[in-house]
Every structure is written in C-alpha cells, then in structure tokens.
C-alpha cells in the first residue's frame, strides 16, 4: 500500500483515481539490486519523448523564419526556452512521483469543475494546434522525399495511428526506442548540414546572449514567442507527468526521492541534447539564408529547394526532408500519448488509442487540408507559425497550476519543491504570461 501517497491525498479535493495510461502504468521495473548506472538507465526514455517538442515541425517554421530574418539573434530565445523547459519538466516529474497524479488528474482533483473543464478545453486546443503542425510537417516531408502532393500527404498522415498501435502493443520501451532512434537520425542529418553551411561561430556564440531588441521589436517578439511555444509546449507538461509513472519505482520516501533524481537527470540530459538540434535549425537558416540575403525564408518547401545550390551538395535537401519526416512521426507518438493523458485525467474518459488518435487527427486535418489546397506552401508556413503562437498563449494555463501544486506542502508532502525552485518557477510563469500579454497588445494595436 502506498502509505505516503494516501497521506498526501488529504491535500486534494478529490481522492486519487485510476492511473492514466493504465496499460503501461509501472510496467517498467526498476532493479533495486543493480548499480546506480543501471537504475539510471532504467529511467532513461521519458525525457526524450518530451524533447521531441523541440523538433516539432512547427518549430522548424519559426526557427527558419527567425534564422533567415534575424540571423543568430534568436538563439538566446532557444537557450532561454531550454532552461525554462528543464525547470518545468523537473516539476512535472516531481508532481507525478510525489502525488501519483499526472498534471491533468491533479487539476481535476484540485479544482472545481468550473475551473477544470475550461482547463481541459484549453489543453485540447493546444494538442490540436500541435497536431496541425505535425500534419503539415509530415505532409511536407513526404512531398520533399517522395514527391507526394501536399493534399494527399495530409490525408496519409491519418494512417500513422497504426505505427502507434503497433509500438504500444510491443511495450512502452519500444515506443521510447522508436523515438530515440529517430532523434539520432535527425541529429546526424543536421550535423552534416551544419558542416556544409559553415556558420560564423563567433556570431553563433554572440547569438546566445539576449538583447533588448527581442522585446522591443514586435516582429522579433512574435517569432520569439513562436519558438517559446514550440519548445516549452503545453502538452509536454501533461505528457511528462504521465509517462514518468511507467517506471515501477516503489512507494517509500527514499525510493521516490531516488526516482525523482533519476527522472530529473533523464529530462535534463534529453533537453540539453534537444537544444543542440533546436539551435541547429536556426543556425542552418542563419548561415544558409540570412548570410546570403534571403531574409524571408519561412516555407519548409522553399528552404528545401534552396539548400542544394547554397550548400553545394545535392544530398542536403534530402537530409532536410528526412529529418522533417522523422520529426513529424516522432511528434505523432507524443501528441497521441498526451491526448490520452489529458482526456483520461480531466474527464476520466477512456478511449481506445486509435479512436482518440483519429478524432484528434481528423480535427487537425480539416484546417491543414483547407490551407494546403487554397494557399499552398505560403499558407502552410503561416499556419505553422500561428500554431506555435497559439501553443505559447495556452502555456500559462498549464504552467501556473503545475507551479502551484508542486509548491504546496499539503499536496506534495516531503517532496514539495524547495523554495528556491518554486521561486524560479513562479518567475518563469510570470515571464511567460507577461510576454503573451505584450504579444496580444501588439497584435490588437497592429
């Protein structure tokens, strides 16, 4: 019996219910007799599923637009987003391990329905925005590699549900292995392209230091918030707090403390690796496009066609297309899992993964297909960036509850976040909210 967890239930309005993703809940055993390295390896995996948010196809559009228009200047935003993500994802692991709840369940058990139901609706909007980006990114990837028309590619993306069903049937470790393998392919593709682009490394280093122009220039702020929304994604907070519980880490306080340490190491290492990929997209755009005077490149298809003549190697566009397709497939898996966690957690509603996937994908396909058919590449680029800004605007509605829960001794017990960590988290939450308010003011004022 989880005595520690039952004591902490006293801090919640409702008692803890059935775990989300119940078919894989605590399905991966943690050997207490093995070495620390072996136990750490057993926790490796969930962080990389979270890191996929850095390589979402929508992030490509914002990073390409930012790199081509402003050079290396927005690298500071990528770094800041990474640091924010490390803090917030560590809080997700803390919430899950301390309370036995994912973020969706915590919102349901802490708030009245008039609060939790709108939060659920906002989380669903964020997942749909993510899925629109995946639909477009995967369709463009299929078009770039195989020449499949965008309209047909959008429809083909509905079939990716079979990949997820097959992997989940084999076990959650296979899901993680699939994600990590595709991340490796993406890393190799970008490493080759960066080598060919030969960026100005002095400019790259300076780009990691923020300037006031990022806030004072509305166009730069718009792209900066797009990068933020594509990096610290709302659905990732729900996702991480759910999939951490696939580890069978025990119920005692020492076991939970060890689990929290290893889970935090996993997510931090994965997010640092993802920063390299995320920054690579922007560096490639700055080196290949901004330095040659092409400051308006935002369409993925346009970037693909320009890479060969600019980098001088025919394989460069193919590498770009392969990496993009891998990104779309990766994001498909994580968005599906996040969708299950959100629906089960907020509403206690269980759907078969394939039904849940087809509903979400069906909703996403409609606007993606409309824009693709009527506006082509230019329209898809604008829609991709818009989805990322929508994600950024939704972010506060996931961040504030997360910070609130993990700072509560009554809810978290002995694993309550230290005061210094809660202080940093509250600062991050306020900064995100403030930037979003400024974005809305700039948008309304034209």
**What is the domain range of residue 227?**
3-444
- CA 416 to CA 418: how far, in whole Å? 6
**CATH number of the structural domain spanning residue 56:** 1.20.1740.10
pLDDT score of 259: 94
pTM over 0.85: yes
Q: Which two tokens stand for residue 253?
A: 């306080």
- CA 337 to CA 149: how far, in whole Å? 28
Beta-carbon contacts of 238 under 8 Å, excluding residues fewer than 6 positions away, are 102, 103, 104, 123, 338, 341, 342, 345, 398
The domain tally of the chain equals 1
Residue whose token pair is 């729900």: 238
3-class DSSP assignment, residue 28: strand
**pLDDT tops 50 at residue 300:** yes
pLDDT, one tens digit per residue, over 358-382 is 776 677 677 777 776 776 666 766 7
Cβ atoms of 340 and 23 closer than 8 Å: no
pLDDT, one tens digit per residue, over 153-205 is 877 877 776 777 777 778 888 889 988 998 999 889 888 888 888 899 999 99
Q: Which two tokens stand for residue 262?
A: 């290893």
Cβ atoms of 402 and 137 closer than 8 Å: no
Beta-carbon contacts of 322 under 8 Å, excluding residues fewer than 6 positions away, are 141, 145, 185, 189
State how far the alpha carbon of 103 is from the alpha carbons of 19, 61, 235, in Å. 12, 29, 10
**pLDDT tops 50 at residue 270:** yes
pLDDT score of 385: 67
pLDDT score of 343: 87
pLDDT bin (cut points 50, 70, 90) of residue 56 is confident
């Amino acid at each position: 019996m989880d005595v520690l967890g039952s004591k902490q239930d006293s801090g919640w309005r409702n008692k803890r219910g059935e775990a989300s993703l119940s078919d894989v809940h605590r399905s991966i055993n943690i050997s207490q007799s093995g070495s620390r390295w072996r136990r750490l390896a057993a926790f490796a995996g969930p962080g990389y599923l979270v890191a996929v948010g850095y390589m979402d196809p929508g992030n490509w559009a914002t990073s390409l637009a930012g790199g081509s228009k402003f050079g290396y200047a927005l690298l500071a935003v990528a770094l800041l987003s990474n640091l924010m993500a490390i803090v917030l994802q560590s809080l997700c692991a803390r919430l899950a391990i301390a309370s036995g709840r994912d973020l969706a369940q915590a919102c349901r058990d802490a708030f009245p329905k008039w609060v939790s139901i709108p939060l659920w609706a906002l989380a669903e909007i964020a997942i749909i925005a993510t899925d629109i980006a995946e639909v477009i990114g995967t369709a463009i990837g299929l078009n770039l590699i195989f020449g499949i028309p965008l309209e047909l590619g959008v429809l083909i993306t509905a079939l990716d549900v079979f990949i997820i069903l097959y992997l989940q049937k084999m076990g959650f470790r296979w899901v993680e292995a699939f994600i990590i393998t595709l991340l490796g392919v993406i890393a190799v593709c970008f490493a080759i392209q960066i080598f060919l682009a030969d960026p100005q490394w002095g400019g790259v280093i300076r780009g990691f230091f923020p300037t006031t122009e990022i806030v004072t220039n509305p166009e730069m702020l718009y792209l900066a918030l797009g990068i933020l929304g594509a990096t610290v994604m709302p659905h990732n907070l729900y996702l991480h707090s759910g999939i951490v519980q696939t580890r069978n880490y025990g119920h005692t306080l020492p076991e939970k403390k060890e689990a929290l340490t290893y889970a935090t190491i996993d997510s931090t290492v994965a997010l640092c690796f993802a920063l390299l990929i995320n920054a690579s997209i922007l560096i490639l755009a700055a080196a290949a496009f901004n330095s040659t005077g092409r400051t308006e490149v935002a369409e993925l298809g346009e970037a693909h066609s320009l890479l060969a003549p600019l980098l001088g190697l025919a394989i460069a566009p193919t590498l770009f297309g392969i990496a993009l397709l891998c990104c779309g497939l990766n994001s498909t898996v994580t968005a599906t899992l996040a969708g299950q966690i959100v629906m089960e957690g907020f509403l206690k509603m269980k759907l078969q993964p394939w039904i849940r996937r087809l509903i979400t994908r069906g909703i996403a396909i409609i606007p993606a297909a409309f824009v693709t058919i009527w506006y082509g590449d230019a329209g898809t680029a604008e829609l991709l960036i818009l989805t990322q800004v929508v994600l950024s605007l939704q972010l506060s509605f996931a961040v504030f509850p997360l910070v609130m829960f993990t700072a509560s001794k009554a809810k978290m017990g002995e694993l309550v976040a230290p005061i210094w960590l809660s202080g940093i988290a509250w600062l991050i939450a306020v900064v995100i909210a403030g930037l979003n308010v400024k974005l809305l003011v700039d948008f309304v004022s034209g």
